[in-house]
Amino acid sequence: MTTRQIVALGGGGFSDEGLPTKLDGFILSLSRNRRPRICFLPTASGDSETYPIKFYRAFTQMDCRPSDLALFRRTVADLRTFLLDQDVIYVGGGNTANMLAIWRVQGVDAILREAWQAGVVLAGSSAGAICWFEAAVTDSFGVPPTGLRDGLGLLPGSACPHYNSEERRRPVYQQLVGSGFPSGYAIDDHVALHFVDRKLAAVVRDVEDRFAYEVKLEGTAVEERPLTPRTLS
Average pLDDT per block of 10 residues along the chain, 233 residues long:
95 96 98 96 98 98 98 97 98 98 98 98 98 98 96 98 97 98 98 98 97 96 96 95
| Whole-model pTM over 0.95 | yes
The pLDDT of residue 1 is: 75
The pLDDT of residue 82 is: 98
The values of phi and psi at residue 115, to 5°, are: -60, -45
Domain count, the chain: 1
The parent domain of residue 201 ranges over 5-231
Measure the CA–CA gap between 72 and 43, rounded to whole angstroms: 8
H helix intervals, the chain: 22-29, 50-59, 79-84, 96-106, 108-117, 127-130, 169-178
Q: Looking at the annotation, which residues are catalytic?
A: 126, 162
> Could you report the per-residue pLDDT of 40-69, keeping only the tens digit for each?
999 999 999 999 999 999 999 999 999 999
Sign of CA dihedral 13, 30, 53, 186: negative
**Residues in the chain, total:** 233
| CATH code, 217 | 3.40.50.880
